[in-house]
Amino acid sequence: MTATARERILAATRANHFEANPLPTVPQFTGNDSVERFTEVLQSIGGKLCAYQHASHWPK
Amino acid sequence: MSHPKRAEIFTRDAERTTWHDETLWFVRQKRDKAVYAVPEFQELRELASQIKTHTLSRLADYLEQFEAQAKANGVHVHWASNAEEHNAIVLDIIRQQNATSIVKSKSMLTEECHLNPYLLRHGVEIVDTDLGERIVQLRQESPSHLVLPAIHLKKEDVGATFFKHLGTAEGEVDPQVLTEAARQHLRARFLAAEVAISGVNFAIAETGSVVVCTNEGNADLAVNLARVHIASMGIEKLIPRLSDLSVFTRLLARSATGQPATTYTSHFSRPAAGKELHVILVDNGRTQQLGRPDFRASLKCIRCGACMNTCPVYRRSGGHSYDFTVPGPIGAILSPNIDMRQHASLPFASTLCGSCTDVCPVKIDIHTQLYKWRQVIAAADEIPASKKWSMRLLSRVLARPAMYELGGKFARTSLRFVPHALTHAPGYNPWAIARELPEPPPQSFREWFKQTNPKP
């Protein structure tokens, strides 16, 4: 009986499995100041940051 | 036709060559600026490389996990060993739907499978909806870059194309007017589409989802309007977990265009009510590449195009000179796996400077693989006879100091008398087409050293 594409691909892939590193853990990367980063990126694309302590301080 | 011959066609227009070079270098600089703003960028590269290597090391397991999850989500999963099988599956789905209006967002895999001409031969017209892809489709060309498919064209070229096909005013070159014309033209296609085909940037084994990253939103518009979505993906697009995606999305856009993120990063996990989602898993030579330990790392590629933007050869020879779906340095290591004889010249289209390796977000050792492919190609006797014999002669001369010294003396003397037309004859010495030979020195370094440092 002819093998299906699924069987062929899985067999060929499994035949070429190799020893490798385990799957690494993805860290949180929390060391950056996100406000500072946001400001940098915003300004790099021509934006301007207007920061207010409270919504009531926003200009009318 | 070999890469040097195709590159020669591109470089005939010196102004365009310089413009192409500078434009892509500008993108490379944007990439650098974005990368330097992320302190953990090198850590992300290492993580991405490890995740991809791990996934490839047990790809069959992850493929099965992906399939099971996708099916549980109500997705139709298909498998295609090669381009013919992929194209037949797409056509079959279209015919089952009795669909006549088909749109496609950017997918290098469907380019690789030559899906558009296949469907045309079977009476099905397909409209590319990515702006750059639509431009090259109207011109009956192939994309010249992974991310910027029409980067070889100037606005005047686009204006002439739209005048011919979309009815814009003759001589119109205003990018805003041209883009609006394309927008109106494509909007009608989006609304009429019955089947939408997309590529896949990442597929997540854990969730059975596919992720599509675009800047124009064309994929989202198309697949949400059409009743059937076909997502075509190479089997190497898999990543194990949803959390892994965060690593790749931070790398992809920064490496590609210098953006912090692609404008749209869309997850497709299950079909909407009353609609269908098909995912086609395509091999087309990938398992063969997986079986080559020296070259399997090329399957880690996330198709960002950074290696192209930085490559001095690509920037000055244009994407079409590679005559392969994926041009540039990464294409030069993928293409010999598909057809070594046809693409034998591509691994030689590099200075081996290593810049491609330096910018690769998944740390593929591209220039090392280019060097290794050269050895494989030479061992298979697939290099031009002139190069083969000249290299053999040179290796003999370099292995014999006396012969090298004699050859040097002969060259220094004869070059003073041989006519310029002969030393620079294009058929005889392609190296000298755009270069001048240096003035032959009166003596070799060794002779000069002996003369200036006589033994006491």
Q: Would you state the pLDDT for residue A31? A: 67
Last residue of a domain, one of B254, B284, B314: B284
| Domain range for B314 | 295-379
**pLDDT band for position A33 (50/70/90)?**
confident
Q: What confidence category does residue B229 fall into, taking pLDDT thresholds of 50, 70 and 90?
A: very high
Strand-pairing partners, residue B214, are B264
CA B39, CA B453: separation in Å to the nearest integer?
Answer: 52
Taking residue B375's Cβ as centre, other Cβ atoms within 10 Å add up to 11
Chain B nearest-CA distance from A56, in A, is 31
Q: Residue B51 is nearest to which of A9, A14, A23, comparing CB atoms? A: A23
For A17, the closest chain B residue by CA position comes to: B57
> Which pLDDT does position A1 carry in this prediction?
66
* A5:B85 CB<8 A: yes
Residue where a domain terminates, one of B258, B284, B310: B284
Give percent above pLDDT 90 in chain B: 84
Any domain includes B20: no
Q: In this structure, what is the dihedral angle of CA atoms B217, B198, B108, B20, given to the nearest 10 degrees?
A: -20
Instruction: Read off the tokens for B330.
Output: 């990464």
**Would the CB atoms of A16 and B296 count as touching at under 8 Å?**
yes
Same domain? For B246 and B367 the reply is: no
Query: In chain A, what residues touch B239 (CB-CB under 8 Å)?
Result: none
pLDDT given at position B433: 76
A45, closest residue in chain B (CA to CA): B259
A58 falls within a domain: yes
Residue B354 bridge partners (DSSP): none
pLDDT bracket for residue B391 (50, 70, 90): confident
Q: Would B217 be classed as within a structural domain?
A: yes
| Residue among B51, B60, B288 minimizing CB distance to A14 | B60
- Shortest CB distance from B64 goes to which of A10, A22, A40? A10
Distance CA A4, CA B450 (A): 73
The DSSP annotation for B206-238 comes to TTTEEEEEESS-HHHHHHHHSSEEEEEEEGGGE
Residue A40 lies in a domain: yes
Map tokens 């397991």 to a residue.
B61
Domain that holds residue A38: 33-60
- Shortest Cα distance, chain B CAs vs residue A46, angstroms: 13
Q: In this structure, are B270 and B324 located in the same domain?
A: no
Given CB atoms, is B60 within the 8 Å cutoff of chain A?
yes
Region B80-102: mean pLDDT is: 96
Total domains, chain B: 3
Using CB atoms, which residue from A6, A9, A23 is nearest to B240?
Answer: A23
Does B199 share its domain with B70? yes
Closest approach of B9 to chain A, Cα-based (Å): 37
Boundary residue ending a domain (B284, B303, B321): B284
Q: Is residue A3 part of a domain?
A: no
Q: What is the pLDDT, as a whole number, of residue A26? A: 92
**C-alpha span between B57 and A14 (Å, rounded):** 9
Pairing of strands B195-198, B102-104: parallel
Instruction: Specify if B257 maps to a domain.
Output: yes
Give residue-wise pLDDT tens across range B284-317. Answer: 999 999 999 999 999 999 999 999 999 999 999 9
Q: DSSP labels for B288-304?
A: HHHT-TTTGGGGG----
B60 and B124 housed in the same domain:
yes
- The 10s digit of each residue's pLDDT in B235-251 is 999 999 999 999 999 99
The answer to whether position A46 is within a domain reads yes
Residue B372: its pLDDT value, please?
96
Domain assignment of residue A43, yes or no: yes
Q: Does B135 touch chain A (CB under 8 A)?
A: no
Taking the Cβ of residue B50 and every Cβ of chain A, the question of whether any pair is shorter than 8 Å is answered with yes
ipTM over 0.90: no
CB-CB neighbors (< 8 A) of A3 in chain B: none
Mutating which of A6, A28, A30 best tests the B interface, going by the most B Cβ atoms within 10 A?
A6
Does the residue A9 lie in any domain? no
pLDDT tens track for B424-450: 887 777 778 778 888 889 899 988 999
On whether residue B127 sits in a domain, the answer given is yes
Is B50 close to A21, i.e. CB distance below 8 A? yes
Q: What is the total count of domains within chain A? A: 1
Q: Are residues B234 and B346 in the same domain?
A: no
Whether residue B336 is found in the same domain as residue B447:
no
Q: State whether B63 and A21 contact (CB < 8 Å).
A: no
Domain-embedded: residue B13: no
* Residue B300 sits in the same domain as residue B269: no
- What pLDDT, in 10s, does the model give residues B340-379? 999 999 999 999 999 999 999 999 999 999 999 999 999 9
- pLDDT tens digits along A18-29: 998 899 999 988
Residue contact B85–A16, C-beta within 8 A: no
Mean pLDDT of all residues belonging to chain B: 93
Q: Are residues B81 and B227 in the same domain?
A: yes
Query: Do residue B39 and residue A31 have CB atoms under 8 angstroms apart?
Result: yes
Assess if residue A47 is contained within a domain. Answer: yes
B316 and B435 share a domain? no
* Within a domain: A59: yes
pLDDT reading at B227 higher than 70: yes
Cross-chain Cβ contact B57/A18 below 8 Å: yes
Q: Measured between alpha carbons, how far is B182 from A21 in angstroms, rounded to an integer? A: 47
Instruction: State the Cα angle at B107 between B103 and B113, rounded to 5°.
Output: 95
Residue B73 domain-assigned? Answer: yes
Read off φ and ψ for residue B255, nearest 5 degrees: -70, -35
Which pLDDT tens digit goes with each residue over B31-68?
999 999 888 999 999 999 999 999 999 999 999 999 99
Give the DSSP letter of residue B347.
G
Same domain, B262 and B299: no
Amino acid A32: pLDDT: 66
Q: Looking at the structure, do residues B266 and B334 belong to the same domain, yes or no?
A: no
Cβ–Cβ gap B260/A41 under 8 Å: yes
Joined tokens for residue B365 = 């050792």
Cβ separation of A10 and B50 shorter than 8 Å?
A: no
Residue for token digits 């490559």? B311
Residue B203 sits in the same domain as residue B279: yes
In a domain, B264, yes or no: yes
| Interchain proximity A9–B53, CB inside 8 Å | no
CB spacing of A20 vs B37 below 8 angstroms: no
Is residue B116 assigned to a domain? Answer: yes
